[in-house]
Chains A and B, each alone.
Chain A
Amino acid sequence: MTLLRRWRLSHLSLYRRLMIWLFCPLAMLVAIMLLQAWFASREAADRAFDRLLDAASLSIAEQVRWQQSRLWMDLPPSALEMLATDAQERVFYALYDAQGHFVTGNRSLPSLPPAKAGQMSYGDVISRDMPLRLGVLRSRLEGWDRSDRFEVRVAQSREGRQALANQLFLASFVNIVIIAALAMVVVLLSARFALEPLTRLRRAIRQRDPRTLAPLELALPRELAELRQALNELLARMRRVRANQERFIGDASHQLRTPLAGLSAHAELAMRQSEPAAWREALVTMHGTATKTARLAGQLLSMTRLNNPEATPAKRSVDLAALAQRCVRESFARHHRHGIDLGVDVPDHAVMVSATDWQLEEALNNLIENAALYGARQITVQVTDAPTRLVVTDDGPGIPESQRLLVLRPFHRGQEAGDGTGLGLAIVDSIARAHDIRLLLQTANPDHPERPGLCVVLIFTAT
């Protein structure tokens, strides 16, 4: 198991991977070439030596004639000597008549099936435990009166062929080995050269200052240039994220500082008075400011929580209708006190979506709160099925179309008037993004120029 894991390809270095993928086919190729060379040299040796069988049997066949009422042959010694090369092969010959009867010879030799072309057929036979190359020549007498068929069979042992085949094979072997060695050197070198830019890239990344997010400037081959581009894009995103964070932190501290300064000023003013009534008035004001600041702090906290990419809370199946009813029920009393008409319109059955329930609640509360803060008198929360939507409609001043993208950014208020923190819609937007929810800002009542109202639609994608 550990061995397997060690040899898993994904663990291997690029260099080794290249080596394996280059050397395995190379080794296979060399093996195939060697095998082919072996067969080719055997065949070449056989072809060369078969000429001898050919010549010898022709020379014997020439001497075959009809004499004394039978096939007759004056065996030329040179024909047999022809068959023995430097390897001093063993030599056998035999003459057979048309009926396959042995006429003369020094060993009975088997016949061979006729060859497709030519008179001569060759074959490897084992005769009395001796591997022999046999050649059979089919011929006929060329006399005036007789034209009997006959067969001259000659055979020789394989030493000469073997020696020649070995010699030929050795030559090919040396060639192939030299070529393979050269190929290996080339492969090694080219793999090193090909991987060299990778090493440069690694060095360049390693030598960077860890705090810098500047793009990588490095001449690289196309494949790695893509990687460099991807890296640079990532770096650019990181730069944007960092800039956003810095601005957010700056805005947040600015937002917190203003109410805190107000609190401090009110307290100071109140301390100069001696009237308890004035104190009370100051306290009421301070309480309002503190409440607002607390809400701001809470929203900052939830914004930070939402923007933390490390924490992606598990999604569960949530009943949207029940969730809307619960939120409205919880905040109904508070808004009723301020004379705001908060209503809810849900279907009878449950509308299930996959989401994180506290985030949806947060978004809904923010939307209701937002509408209330910007002077709506009537707020309706509506849940529809197919398509699954959560709609919050109010009759407030609305947001002009040019402002609609901007209001989604943190600390951007639609109107300078009002008690909003400037984070409400930004939080909703973050939650919508995390849930793949389409967020639409529409005008609720376009016919009413003074109070066109705002309709925020959250469209849940089908899960």
Chain B
Amino acid sequence: MRRPDLHRHLSVPRCVRRLGVVWLALALALTAQAQARTLHFAADTEPSRALTIYGVLDPPQVRPLLSDFHRRHPDIAIDYHNLETLALHARVLQERDTSRADVILSPAMPWQYQLANEGLSSPIDSPAAADWPSWARWRQELFGFTFEPIVMVYRRDLARRMIPPESHADLLSLLRQHSRQLDHRVVTYDPRRSGAGYTYAIEDARISARYWDLVEALGNSNSALETTTAAMLEGLSDGRYWIGYNLIGSYVQDYVAEHPELVMVVPQDYALVLQRLVMMSRHAPHPDTARRFIDYLLSASAQRLLATQTTLGAVHPSVDGAGTAADLRDRLGEAIRPVQIGPGLLATLDRLKRQTLLEQWQQAFDNRPTHAGGPLADPSPLPDAATE
């Protein structure tokens, strides 16, 4: 899965909020796409302890968390490495026996689950971990600490032409009724090129067989296919697209706040929910600080921070208000479908499964029988646990 490059341009922090933030390193990666960024918080006291985090969470979202944690534990020097999801996965596997990271957090749920299933995580024995809602954790090893719905976005002026969609069913009927008007006007993830798009496709398909009708309708109206939420939002903002389907809510929320011409909709019939999964590395060099950090992430105060200062959404049952799981559940009830943290995720990563699903998707999208153009090439290299 690719991280939506919402914050590709570097934003220098406007003010240094905490004295603890002494040093912020921004390092450009070798490739143009993969910009590895590093946040560093030096310890304020001696002796100091270290904490290394590999994460897929942009600095603006993670900084409030890290600085709050640093304020509480000034003796811990934090190294935060922001990576691409696949790069993170590859790096963790590469360092499986000589881990450098203490904490690994990523929204690529199947990949994170695969690492934990392989035994690369280690359990956290703390009351906070034990009390964490069971639907948001696997064993005591993998914790979903954010709550990010997958949403639809439409342009405010769409309402003048038709009733904007509020659910998947609405979207399908809109596409069927206004297929000519919406020609080239709908945008969604390309599951063949984007890991995130593929994950949502497989979850959508599991939830409803009518998903294939939707794909067919999307194909009929020649929908555009993008690989990142950012690209879709830019297209929507430019007016190239009118409706975006399956965008990551946490990024949309930020963007919509600055672009009033866009409206975010959490689908009424069902809303997939993505969770960022955090785990402690099995060979963590600093298990102490790692445990402390994960404990902090699962604490009510960190969750409140997530709800108020970021768009990530809090999971903690005692935290409510806007931007929390409780709030979303209150509004949508049963329609909330968090991606289950379980071995079903492993199927997502199966190479043959992927080809099968993508073929089917292609077939539905193109309205043509499969195998017409010969076997599909493996869409993009995915790490294969069995051949590593």
- In the complex with contacts A91-B117, A105-B386, A108-B386, A74-B356 CB distance below 8 A: yes
Task: Contacts A72-B352, A108-B386 known; list 19 others, CB within 8 Å.
Answer: A68-B371, A73-B353, A75-B350, A75-B352, A76-B347, A77-B206, A77-B346, A78-B344, A80-B346, A88-B139, A90-B117, A90-B118, A91-B117, A103-B352, A104-B353, A104-B386, A105-B386, A106-B349, A106-B385
- Chain B: residues with CB nearer than 8 A to chain A? 114, 117-119, 138-139, 206, 340, 342-353, 356-357, 371, 375, 385-387
A83 to B344, CA, bound (A): 10
Identify which of A77, A84, A94 contacts B347 (C-beta below 8 A).
A77
List the A residue with the shortest CB-CB distance to B138. A88
Q: Which A residues are CB-close (under 8 A) to B352?
A: 72-75, 103-104
10 tightest Cβ-Cβ pairs between the two chains A and B: A77-B344, A77-B347, A80-B343, A91-B343, A75-B353, A75-B350, A74-B356, A68-B375, A75-B347, A81-B344
Residue A338 at the chain B interface, CB threshold 8 Å = no
Distance, CA A448 to CA B342, complexed state (A): 128
Contact B119 A130 (CB under 8 A): yes
CB<8 Å pairs between A and B, sample of 30: A73-B350, A73-B353, A74-B352, A74-B357, A75-B347, A75-B350, A75-B353, A77-B343, A77-B345, A77-B348, A78-B344, A80-B342, A80-B346, A81-B344, A84-B342, A84-B343, A90-B119, A91-B346, A92-B117, A93-B346, A102-B386, A104-B350, A104-B353, A104-B386, A106-B117, A106-B346, A106-B349, A106-B385, A107-B118, A107-B385
Residues of A within 8 A of B371 (CB): 68
- Across the interface, name the chain A residue whose C-beta is closest to B202: A77
Interface string of A53-74 (1 = CB under 8 A from B): 0000000000000001000111
Indicate if the CB atoms of B375 and A80 lie closer than 8 Å.
no
Residues of A near B353 (CB, < 8 A) are 73-75, 104
Q: How many residues of A contact B (CB 8 A)?
A: 29
Bound complex: CA A104 to CA B356 (Å): 13
A80 B344 Cβ-Cβ under 8 A: yes
Give the residue of A79, A80, A107 whose beta carbon is less than 8 angstroms from that of B386: A107
Is A128 an interface residue when CB atoms closer than 8 A count as contact? yes
B386 in contact with A94 (CB, 8 Å): yes
> In the complex, A73 Cα to B353 Cα: how many Å?
7
Q: Whose C-beta in chain B lies nearest to the C-beta of A87?
A: B139
- Give bound CA distance, A84 to B113, whole Å: 13
Q: Across the interface, which residues of A come within 8 angstroms of B118, CB to CB?
A: 90, 107
Q: Once the chains are docked, how many angstroms separate the CA of A73 from the CA of B371?
A: 16
A128 partner residues in chain B, CB cutoff 8 A: 119
Expressed in whole angstroms, the Cα–Cα distance for A88 and B137 within the complex equals 10
For residue A276, give the distance in angstroms from its CB to the closest CB of chain B. 133
Q: Which residues of B contact A129 (CB under 8 A)?
A: 119
